[in-house]
């Protein structure tokens, strides 16, 4: 989530490489797309340059690269003298210069602030009111300039009026994390891209630029005005928690510890970012569905294209994260449950990617409905085990995966596909999926110039919905709709809408809304879409229902099918039947809204896997 939200969309964080001492390094930096270079005019610095060197460096630069001169408590005459000989674009003051000291050269300037404890960044910004930007640097007593230590990011206020440049301790490994956490105007690196003091390294500069251009992978901070949920035992109010057999308590505790650790581990986050970018293909596009919007005659509809991810759905965001975690925890075998097969395919895919043994549990009924995905999983080297117990669908697959995990806890990591299950799964899966909402936030600002009015997502277990909603929970003027599967109609009882019709109970490790009989037996569900065919829902959704932040509605099989055809014909995008539920609800409300309203729908998956279902319903044999 953007920390420096000046109501100015920042589509790209700019990069400055400071302490350049050789013309060649400046040229390499420029070729890599660096926005600015810094020249140090402070004789005590190991990166100090002479006037002559500075001239050579600037001469070597192509146009449109800003040159910044760095000074520390320099005499005005010294600075005037440099300015007379070196064509600097902007001055950067690193010492105890007063606002007047900075102003007197008739040049735009940046003021650096060393981040001591309890430093008042807000007051500082007011004092240097005409500075072009503030550079926030790590602070070490007695050392001036870049000190190579990362400061405590929590100190930075979120409503600062000035552009912020983050400096100090940045490296190719942590830059994407800094950008993710703070969304600064620019980052400033020096020591992090050097092979020796003042000597920049081309490979490191390349890696840094790559890191800086990646989008966010994971939420490191909670949304500030909501309570920080879940609590340490995994509760969202009365929901969530840890309702599992004793054998799983220790493995879950171990997982919880590992997750908390790696959530703050920059190497892990960098690896995750890298895979999301290069393997998954993130960021996924945000697409303005102009024809469909026009057809419905109301609000402007944007689609978050999770269907364009590798494997065709949002599920891979989570499986990449969990598989990387499994790898770090030394687990060699992964298991998963699957309904529609999307999560199974996403798990089989990462298992192949990371060289792990993979077993996927799938209800025998779903195996028949989703033959293509079953074959995909087998091609990927996974073993698909048919589950014949109970209703032979997703919930029974989950039971069977739990049984497998209880039996093989030592070497096995259970990759749960949704924001349900015992703590920490609802939290962890949410964090891995929240990349959807974070990207959307940035993309819609660039595309439409502002945040949306309405978000819509389908809810089965609820991972794509929470992924989109979570970064927007704090924006209470944005209306959020979670769309459940009404199947043949809520009144028929043949549906999968626990939030709309169920009541709280305990299943699969957490307390949440469930569809169960008056005796507490879990009901069989029905939906045209196998991915929504689940009698429970993630506990955070139960919480968001009770506190009213999200409105949960339901659409029938027929309505979803209509929307499937609409989008296919009007936009050339074939949506998954799951996502078609969100589209169907949009179809109901968009025409009632003004044309300047903005709706974002999470198009959580593509519909190729569903064409047999659709064809069969229309009596067509393929």
Partner 1 sequence: MSRLKTCFDQLRAQKRAALIPFITAGDPIQTLTVPLMHGLVEAGADVIELGVPFSDPMADGPVIQRASERALAQGTSLRDVLDMVKNFRLQNQTTPVVLMGYLNPIEIMGYKTFVQAAESVGVDGVLTVDLPPEEATDLSALLRAHAIAPIFLIAPTTTPKRIKHICVQASGYLYYVSLKGVTGSANLDVISVAKKVTEIRQHTDLPIGVGFGIKDVQSAAQVAKVSDAVIVGSALVRLVETEAQDKLLKMIPAFVRALRQGMDAL
DSSP state, 21? -
Catalytic residue among 144, 200, 216, 315: 315
Q: How far is the CB of 370 from partner 1 (least distance, A)?
A: 21
Catalytic-labelled residue, pool 194, 271, 337, 484: 337
CB of 162 to partner 1, least distance (A): 47
Alpha carbon of 465 to those of 98, 340, 396, 479: distances in Å? 50, 17, 23, 13
270 binds partner 1 per the rule CB under 8 A: no
Task: Tell me if 24 contacts partner 1 by CB under 8 A.
Answer: no
Neighbours of 491 (CB within 10 A): 9
Q: Please, which residues have CB within 8 angstroms of residue 309's CB and are 6 or more apart in sequence?
A: 280, 281, 282, 284, 316, 317
Structure tokens belonging to residue 72: 């520390």
| Contacts with partner 1, 199-238, as mask; x by CB under 8 A | ----------------------------------x-----
Interface segment toward partner 1; rule CB under 8 A; list 361-369, 471-479, 507-515, 602-610: 507-515
Instruction: Show contacts with partner 1 in window 377-406 (CB under 8 A).
Output: 389-390, 395-396, 398-399, 402-403, 406
Is 389 a known active-site residue?
no
Taking CB under 8 A as the rule, does residue 520 contact partner 1?
yes
Closest by CA to 177, choosing from 206, 159, 153, is 153
Site for partner 1 in 248-267 (CB under 8 A): 248-251, 253
- Tokens 């349900």 locate to 420
Q: Which of 407, 476, 547, 592 binds partner 1 (CB under 8 A)?
A: 407
CB of 403 to partner 1, least distance (A): 5
Q: 337 catalytic, yes or no?
A: yes
Query: Which of the stretches 49-57, 373-381, 512-520, 544-552 binds partner 1 when contact is defined by CB under 8 A?
Result: 512-520
- 516 near partner 1, judged by CB under 8 A: yes
By CB under 8 A, how many residues form the interface with partner 1? Answer: 41
The CB-side HSE value for 118 (13 A sphere, CA atoms) comes to 0
Sequence-separated contacts (24+) of 110-117 with Cβ below 8 Å: 110/68, 110/134, 110/135, 110/165, 111/135, 112/136, 112/137, 112/167, 113/137, 114/138, 114/139, 115/139, 115/151, 115/152, 115/155, 115/168, 117/155
- Give the Cα separation of 432 and 314 in Å (integer): 10
Each residue 121-160 as x (binds partner 1 by CB under 8 A) or -, in order, gives ----------------------------------------
User: Shortest gap between Cβ of 345 and partner 1 (angstroms)?
Assistant: 24
Q: Any long-range contacts for 141-147 (C-beta under 8 Å, 24+ apart)?
A: 144/42, 144/44, 144/72, 144/94, 144/95, 145/40, 145/42, 145/45, 145/70, 145/72, 145/94, 146/18, 146/19, 146/188, 146/190, 146/191
**Shortest CB 242 distance to partner 1, Å:** 6
Asked if 508 is part of the footprint of partner 1 (rule: CB under 8 A), the reply reads: yes
**Choices 103-111, 241-249, 476-484, 538-546 (CB under 8 A): range interacting with partner 1:** 241-249
Whether the CB-CB separation of 498 and 507 falls below 8 Å is answered with no
**Nearer to partner 1 among residue 103 and residue 408 (C-beta):** 408
Report the C-alpha gap between 516 and 512 in whole angstroms. Answer: 12
Select 389 or 492, whichever has its Cβ closest to partner 1.
389
Q: Cβ closer to partner 1: 507 or 590?
A: 507
Q: Check residue 505 for interaction with partner 1 (CB under 8 A).
A: yes
Among residues 506, 549, 588, 612, the one that binds partner 1 under rule CB under 8 A: 506
Pick out residues in 60-119 that bind partner 1 (CB under 8 A). Answer: none
Determine contact, residues 450/295, Cβ cutoff 8 Å: no
Q: Is 31 a catalytic residue?
A: no
Catalytic residue among 162, 571, 604, 609: 604
CB-wise, 30 or 515, nearer to partner 1?
A: 515
Residue 322's contacts (CB-CB under 8 Å, 6 or more residues apart) are 334, 350, 413, 415, 416, 428, 429, 432
φ, ψ (nearest 5 deg) of residue 279:
-95, -45
Residue bearing tokens 């469909």: 292
- Least Cβ distance, residue 423 to partner 1 (angstroms): 10
Query: Which residue is listed with tokens 């964090």?
Result: 431
> Min. distance of Cβ 546 from partner 1 in angstroms?
16
Residues found near partner 1 in the complex (CB under 8 A): 233, 241-251, 253, 389-390, 395-396, 398-399, 402-403, 406-410, 503-509, 511, 514, 516, 518-522
Question: Which are the catalytic amino acids?
Answer: 315, 337, 604
């Amino acid at each position: 989530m953007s920390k420096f939200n000046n109501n100015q969309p920042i589509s790209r964080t700019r990069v400055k490489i400071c302490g350049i001492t050789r013309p060649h390094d400046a040229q390499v930096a420029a070729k890599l797309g660096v926005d600015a270079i810094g020249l140090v005019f402070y004789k005590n610095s190991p990166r100090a340059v002479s006037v002559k060197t500075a001239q050579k460096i600037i001469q070597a630069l192509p146009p449109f690269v800003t040159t910044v001169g760095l000074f520390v408590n320099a005499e005005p005459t010294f600075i005037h003298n440099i300015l007379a000989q070196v064509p600097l674009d902007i001055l950067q003051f690193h010492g105890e210069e007063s606002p007047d000291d900075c102003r007197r050269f008739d040049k735009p300037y940046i003021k650096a602030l060393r981040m001591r404890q309890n430093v008042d960044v807000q007051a500082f910004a007011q004092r240097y009111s005409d500075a072009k930007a503030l550079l926030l640097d790590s602070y070490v007593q007695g050392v001036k300039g870049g000190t190579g230590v990362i400061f405590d990011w929590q100190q930075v206020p979120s409503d600062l009026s000035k552009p912020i440049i983050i400096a100090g301790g940045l490296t190719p490994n942590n830059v994407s994390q800094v950008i993710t956490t703070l969304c600064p105007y620019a980052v400033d690196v020096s020591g992090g891209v050097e092979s020796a003091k003042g000597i920049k390294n081309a490979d490191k500069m390349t890696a840094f630029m790559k890191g800086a251009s990646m989008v966010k992978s994971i939420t490191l901070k909670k949304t500030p005005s909501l309570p920080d949920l879940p609590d340490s035992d995994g509760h969202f109010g009365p929901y969530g928690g840890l309702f599992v057999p004793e054998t799983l308590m220790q493995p879950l505790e171990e997982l919880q510890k590992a997750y908390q650790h790696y959530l703050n581990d920059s190497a892990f986050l960098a690896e995750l970012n890298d895979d999301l970018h290069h393997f998954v293909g993130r960021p996924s596009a945000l697409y303005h569905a102009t024809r469909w919007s026009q057809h419905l005659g109301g609000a402007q509809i944007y689609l978050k294209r999770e269907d364009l991810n590798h494997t065709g759905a949002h599920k891979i965001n989570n499986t990449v994260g969990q598989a990387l975690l499994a790898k770090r925890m030394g687990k060699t075998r992964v298991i998963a449950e699957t309904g529609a097969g999307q999560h199974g395919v996403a798990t089989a895919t990462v298992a192949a990617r990371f060289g792990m043994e993979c077993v996927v549990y799938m209800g025998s009924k779903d195996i028949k409905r989703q033959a293509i995905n079953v074959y995909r999983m087998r091609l990927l080297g996974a073993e698909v085990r048919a589950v014949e117990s109970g209703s032979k669908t997703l919930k029974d697959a989950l039971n069977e995966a739990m049984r497998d995990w209880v039996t093989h806890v030592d070497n096995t990591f259970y990759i749960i596909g949704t924001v349900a299950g015992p703590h920490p799964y609802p939290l962890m899966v949410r964090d891995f999926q929240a990349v959807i909402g974070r990207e959307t936030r940035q993309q819609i600002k660039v595309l439409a110039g502002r945040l949306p009015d309405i978000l819509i997502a389908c809810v089965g277990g609820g991972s794509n919905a929470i992924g989109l909603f979570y970064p927007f929970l704090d924006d209470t003027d944005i209306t959020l709709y979670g769309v459940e599967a009404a199947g043949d109609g809520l009144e028929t009882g043949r549906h999968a809408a626990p939030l709309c019709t169920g009541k709280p109970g305990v299943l699969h490790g957490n307390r949440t809304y469930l569809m169960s009989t008056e005796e507490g037996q879990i009901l069989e569900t029905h939906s045209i879409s196998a991915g929504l065919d689940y009698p429970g829902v993630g506990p955070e959704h139960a919480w968001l229902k009770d506190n009213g932040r999200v409105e949960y509605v339901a659409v029938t099989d027929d309505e979803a099918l209509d929307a499937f055809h609409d989008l296919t014909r009007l936009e050339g995008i074939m949506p998954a039947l799951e996502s078609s539920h969100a589209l169907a609800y949009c179809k109901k409300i968009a025409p009632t809204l003004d044309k300047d309203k903005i709706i974002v729908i999470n198009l959580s998956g593509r519909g190729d896997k569903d064409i047999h279902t659709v064809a069969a319903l229309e009596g067509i044999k393929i």
